[in-house]
Chain A
C-alpha cells in the first residue's frame, strides 16, 4: 500500500491535524490581508473582478484599440435609464413624468464623489437627457434657434408634447433619447468607469423610488449587467455551492446510513476547495466569473474518489468486520484507479492553461490543483478519519449488515445492476449499434451547434436586467453599443497639400498666386514635411502681403495665402461630402439588416443642421456640396451648449470618424453578422478615398473573446484527449484497452454536444468549459470499471464470470457516484444566473451519460472483443 495511506492509517491524528492546519492556513492567508490590508502588505488580498472584458489579456490588441478609441473620442461606458409610461395617452410626454425625468437628470448630474484623489461617478457634461441636449429648430421669420431641448420641467401638456416633437425631428435624438413611437425616453449616463455602475444604479433606484408618477424606470446597460453579475455571483457561491453540498450529503446518507462516516468526503471537498481558492487568492489572482466556478467544479470531483472508497468499504466491511483490514483491502484495490482518474482529470483541466484567455488558464490550473488536493486528502484523510472512529461505531454498518439481507448481492440495487450487467453482455451487439447510431446523430447535432454568448443572457429571463433589456430594446434603437472606426489611410500629406495648392493657386490666376506657385514648385523639390513646406510658403506670402501698398495687391497676396491654407485642409477626409454620403449609405445599409436599431454618425449632424439652416425643409436634409459648406455647417453646430459632442464622432483633424451603432441584441452572432455586413458593404462599395475600418465597443469585444475561447477550448480538448489516451496506454500497458476506456467519454461528450446542437442551446462560455469537465469525469468511471474488471479477470480467468463480479461492488460504486454527484448538482438549476444553471444541468447529464456509457458500453465491447482484449493473458 502507498506509504501516504499507510501513514494515515497508522497515525490518523497527524493526517487530520495536517488537513486542519492546511485549511486554517489557507483561510488565514486570504482573510488576513483582506480584512487588515495594512497589517499584511506582503500578502495578496481578495480581489474580485466581474468585468468580462478581462476575459482577454490587458495587452490584447482589440482591448488596447478599444481603450485608445474611447480616450480619443472621450467615450465612456453608459448606464441607460429607460422611462416608460403606458398609462398616459402621450406616454412619458406629460407634465408629471417629464418633471420627474428632469429631476432625475439633475440628480444624475450630481452623482459624483472623490475616491483615492480621483473623481468618480456620472460624467455630467456628457449626460444625454432632455434637459442636457441641444435642439435646433425653426423660430419664425426664417430664423433658427439653438436651445436646450427641455431647459426646465414643462408646465403645460402642450410643452410636454413639444419636447417630443422637437426631439423626433433630430436624427441623433430620435430612437436614442426618444423612442421612435414617441412614447418613451431613455437617458444615457456616462460613468467614469464600469466599476461604479452598481453604486450609481443604486442611487438612481433610490431616487426613482421617491417618484409618485405612473412611469416605470428601467436601469440597464452592459456595465450594470456586469456589476450585477459580480454581486449575484457571490450570492451564488454562498448559496448554490452549500446547497449542493447538503444534497450530496443527504444522498450519501441514503446510501451509507452513517452520518459520522459520510462527513469525511464533505471534509475532503471543503479542504480541497479552501485549498484551491486560498492558493488562487494568495497568489494574487482575481476571483473572476471563471474562477468563481472553481468550487463548483472541484466539489463533485473531490467527492468522487471518497464515494468510491466509502462504497467499497460499505460493501466489504460486513464480510471482514475489521475497519483496518477492510480499509487496507479497499485502498489496495482502489489505489491505481484513483491515481489515474486524478491524473486524467488534472490533465483535462490543466490543458486549459494553453488557451489564449488568462481567466480560463487560471481556472484550469486551479481546478487542477483542487483535484490534486482532493486526491491527496482522499487517500490520507478518509482512512485517517475512519481510523479515529471507534470500531463499535461500525456495528451494523455496511451492505447486508444487521442480517436484514443475508447475501448483500440481493439488495434491490445489487439485483438491478446485475440485470444491467447481464443485459450488456447478452445484448452487446445491440448496445454497440445504439452507440454508433447515437454518435451519428450526435455528429449531426454538433454540426448544428451555434456558437453564441451574451452576458445579459447570463441572467434568467425574469431577472430585472433582462426585463429592462427587453423593455428598452423593444422601444429604442438598442442598448448594446458597438463602434466602427473609419480611419483615413496614411497619405503623403505634403504631396496632397502641394498638388491641391498648385491647383488652387492656378485658379486664382493673379501674379501673386503665380509667384507663390513658383515658390511652391521650388520648395517641393526639397522634400519637406507638410508643416515645413506650409510654413515656408506662408512666410513667403505674408512678407509680400504685408509689404503691399495698394489694397488690391494686399488682397491678391491674401487670396494666395488663403489658397495655401485651404490646401492644407485637403487631407480633412471626413469633411468631404462624398465621404459623408458614403458613411450615410453605410448607415442605411446597416439599419436595413434589422440588427442595428440605430446608428449615429457625422452625416446625421451635418444633414440636420443643414436642414434647419434652410427653413427646416426636408429637401435640405442632405450633405451640402462642398467641404467648406460642411465645415461651416459644423461650426454652426458648435455654437451650442455641447460643442464637444462633435468630437465624439470625428477627430478634430477630420481624419478619423466613428459610427456609433445601437444594437438591439448583444448576442455575439448578431454582432458577428453586423461585422460581416460592414465587410460586405465595403467590399461591394469601394469608399471614395482609402480608409481602414476597425471595431470597438463592449459588444464587439465579447465576440473577440468568444472566438478565442472556442478555438482555445477545442485545442485544449483535443490536446487533453491525446494525453489521456497516452495515460491510459501507460496504465493498461495496452493500446487496445486504452482505446476501449476512451469509448464512454467519447460517447458522452459526443452526445452532450450533439444534444446542445439539436436543442439549439447556444455554445457559450460555460458550455465551452464543460468539455474539459466531461473529459475528466467521463474517463473516471471507465478507469474504475476497466481496472477492476481486469483485476477480477486475472483472478477468475473467464469474462462471463468476471462480468458478473464486476457488476457487484465496482458497478455499485460507479452507480452510487452517478447518483450522489449527478443529483447533488441539480440545485444549481435554481440559481438566478444562467451559467450556473448550465453547469448544474450539464454536470448531471455528463455523469448520468458517462455512467450509462461505462456500465453498458464497456461490458458490451469487452464481450464483443474479449478474445482480442484478453489475448495476451490467455497465451501466458
Chain B
C-alpha cells in the first residue's frame, strides 16, 4: 500500500525536473527576441548619445556624419511607443538638419524631417522603413529598431554565450531579406551580430556590435558597423556622451523643436 504513495511524488519530481530541463534547452523564443529588442533600443526611460558615423564605400572613400540622438520611451514600456529626435551637427552644410520620429510598434511610424537651408518641415509618408539612413549602410529601421513581432523566430543554435536566432519575415513582401540570423548575447540580451540573407542564402548585410560598455548600469553598444557585400562598403557608428534617464520632457519631441533645437540637451 505504501508503494504508490512513494512513487507518485517521485513521478512528480521527475516531471518537474524534465520540464525544467526542457525549458532550459528551449527558452521562450519570442521572449528572447523581445528582450533583445529591449536591450538594444529601450534601455532606461530615456537617453541621449552623440554619434559619429563613418561611411566607407568600396573604394575606401569616407563620408562622415555627426549627430545627436535623443530618445524617450512612452510610459517607460519596453517594446512600446517611443520618440526619437536625430539632430545633425556635421557635415557643416547639413548642420541643424533633423529627424523626428514617433515610433508605433503596431503601426507605421510618424516621421518628420527638417531642412534648415530650405526652412522646411516635411512630413514623410509612411512607407518602407528599410531604406538607407542618410546615405549610410544602416537602414532607418536599424536605427529605430525592427519590431520583434514582425518576424517568425526560430532558435537555431545555443552556445555558451549566445542564442543564435533565425528570423523570417511574416510578410515577405515587406522586407528585402529572405531571413536573418542574430547572435544574442545570453547575459545582456544584446544582439552582437546580425547577418541578412538573400533568396540564394547569401549573407549580403552584416551588422556587428564591436564594443559594449555598461553605462549608468545599462549595457550599451558604443561601436557598431554595418557591412554591405553587394556594394562593398561599410558604415561604422561610434557612440559617445551616452546618458540615460535624463528626464526629457515629452514636449521635446514635437514639431516645434525641429526648428529650434533644444541646444542645452545637445551640448
CB distance from B189 to the nearest CB of A (A): 30
Distance, CA A652 to CA B56, complexed state (A): 10
Residues B117 and A640 in contact, CB atoms below 8 Å apart: no
Residues A565 and B116 in contact, CB atoms below 8 Å apart: no
Residues B124 and A143 in contact, CB atoms below 8 Å apart: yes
> Chain A 630-666 against B: per-residue CB contact (8 Å), 1 yes, 0 no?
0111011011111110110001110000000000000
Given A144-B122, A152-B173, A613-B122: A110 and B115 within 8 A (CB)?
A: no
In A545-600, the 8 Å CB interface with B consists of 551, 554-555, 562, 565-566, 568-569, 572, 575
B58 part of interface (Cβ distance < 8 Å):
yes
B218 part of interface (Cβ distance < 8 Å):
no
B75 part of interface (Cβ distance < 8 Å):
no
Residues A565 and B267 in contact, CB atoms below 8 Å apart: no
CB distance from B257 to the nearest CB of A (A): 16
Distance, CA A651 to CA B59, complexed state (A): 11
CB distance from A130 to the nearest CB of B (A): 15
Distance, CA A638 to CA B136, complexed state (A): 8
- Please give, as numbers and ranges, the residues of chain A lying within 8 Å of B136 by CB-CB distance: 643
Given A569-B93, A628-B93: A636 and B113 within 8 A (CB)?
A: yes
CB distance from B118 to the nearest CB of A (A): 5
In B27-73, the 8 Å CB interface with A consists of 57-59, 61-63
A146 part of interface (Cβ distance < 8 Å):
yes
- Please give, as numbers and ranges, the residues of chain A lying within 8 Å of B263 by CB-CB distance: 551, 555
Residues B132 and A643 in contact, CB atoms below 8 Å apart: yes
A432 part of interface (Cβ distance < 8 Å):
no
CB distance from A579 to the nearest CB of B (A): 15
Residues B92 and A569 in contact, CB atoms below 8 Å apart: yes
In B113-134, the 8 Å CB interface with A consists of 113, 115-118, 120, 122-125, 127-128, 130-134
Residues A640 and B92 in contact, CB atoms below 8 Å apart: no
Distance, CA A627 to CA B230, complexed state (A): 31
Distance, CA A613 to CA B114, complexed state (A): 11
- Please give, as numbers and ranges, the residues of chain B lying within 8 Å of A638 by CB-CB distance: 132, 134-135
User: Nearest CB to that of B266 among chain A residues?
Assistant: A558
In B203-257, the 8 Å CB interface with A consists of 230-231, 233
- Please give, as numbers and ranges, the residues of chain B lying within 8 Å of A144 by CB-CB distance: 122-125
Residues B122 and A143 in contact, CB atoms below 8 Å apart: yes
B82 part of interface (Cβ distance < 8 Å):
no
B160 part of interface (Cβ distance < 8 Å):
no
- Please give, as numbers and ranges, the residues of chain B lying within 8 Å of A644 by CB-CB distance: 57, 231, 233
B170 part of interface (Cβ distance < 8 Å):
no
B149 part of interface (Cβ distance < 8 Å):
no
A151 part of interface (Cβ distance < 8 Å):
yes
Q: Which of B93, B115, B124 meets A627, CB within 8 Å? A: B93
A155 part of interface (Cβ distance < 8 Å):
no
- Please give, as numbers and ranges, the residues of chain B lying within 8 Å of A134 by CB-CB distance: 131
Residues B134 and A635 in contact, CB atoms below 8 Å apart: yes
Residues B59 and A72 in contact, CB atoms below 8 Å apart: yes
- Please give, as numbers and ranges, the residues of chain A lying within 8 Å of B57 by CB-CB distance: 644, 647, 652
Residues B133 and A142 in contact, CB atoms below 8 Å apart: no
Q: Which of B92, B115, B130, B134 meets A562, CB within 8 Å? A: B92
CB distance from A786 to the nearest CB of B (A): 66
CB distance from A147 to the nearest CB of B (A): 4
Given A147-B127, A551-B264, A635-B135: A629 and B118 within 8 A (CB)?
A: yes
- Please give, as numbers and ranges, the residues of chain B lying within 8 Å of A145 by CB-CB distance: 124-125, 127
How many chain-B residues does the 8 Å CB contact rule pick out? 42
CB distance from B54 to the nearest CB of A (A): 12
Interface size class of A (residues with CB under 8 A): 35 or more
Residues B132 and A641 in contact, CB atoms below 8 Å apart: yes
Distance, CA A679 to CA B109, complexed state (A): 51
- Please give, as numbers and ranges, the residues of chain B lying within 8 Å of A555 by CB-CB distance: 263
B95 part of interface (Cβ distance < 8 Å):
yes
Distance, CA A565 to CA B63, complexed state (A): 14
- Please give, as numbers and ranges, the residues of chain A lying within 8 Å of B230 by CB-CB distance: 124-125
- Please give, as numbers and ranges, the residues of chain A lying within 8 Å of B173 by CB-CB distance: 151-152
A221 part of interface (Cβ distance < 8 Å):
no
Residues A575 and B135 in contact, CB atoms below 8 Å apart: no
Q: Which of A141, A152, A633, A651 meets B118, CB within 8 Å? A: A633
B17 part of interface (Cβ distance < 8 Å):
no
Distance, CA A147 to CA B127, complexed state (A): 7
Residues A631 and B132 in contact, CB atoms below 8 Å apart: no
B167 part of interface (Cβ distance < 8 Å):
no
Residues B93 and A147 in contact, CB atoms below 8 Å apart: no
- Please give, as numbers and ranges, the residues of chain A lying within 8 Å of B63 by CB-CB distance: 652
In B91-119, the 8 Å CB interface with A consists of 91-95, 97, 113, 115-118
Distance, CA A144 to CA B126, complexed state (A): 9
CB distance from A19 to the nearest CB of B (A): 56
Q: Which of B95, B125, B231 meets A140, CB within 8 Å? A: B125
A529 part of interface (Cβ distance < 8 Å):
no
CB distance from B266 to the nearest CB of A (A): 9
CB distance from A118 to the nearest CB of B (A): 13
User: Nearest CB to that of A647 among chain B residues?
Assistant: B57
- Please give, as numbers and ranges, the residues of chain A lying within 8 Å of B132 by CB-CB distance: 638-643
A145-B125, A551-B264, A628-B117 given; name 7 further pairs at CB < 8 Å.
A139-B127, A143-B125, A632-B116, A632-B118, A635-B97, A642-B132, A644-B233
Interface residues of B (CB under 8 A from A): 57-59, 61-63, 90-95, 97, 113, 115-118, 120, 122-125, 127-128, 130-136, 140, 173, 199-200, 230-231, 233, 263-264, 267
**A-B pairs with lowest CB-CB distance, top 8:** A139-B125, A638-B135, A628-B117, A631-B93, A145-B125, A143-B123, A565-B92, A566-B92
Interface residues of A (CB under 8 A from B): 71-72, 74, 110, 124-125, 134, 139-148, 151-152, 551, 554-555, 562, 565-566, 568-569, 572, 575, 610, 613-614, 624, 626-629, 631-633, 635-636, 638-644, 646-647, 651-653
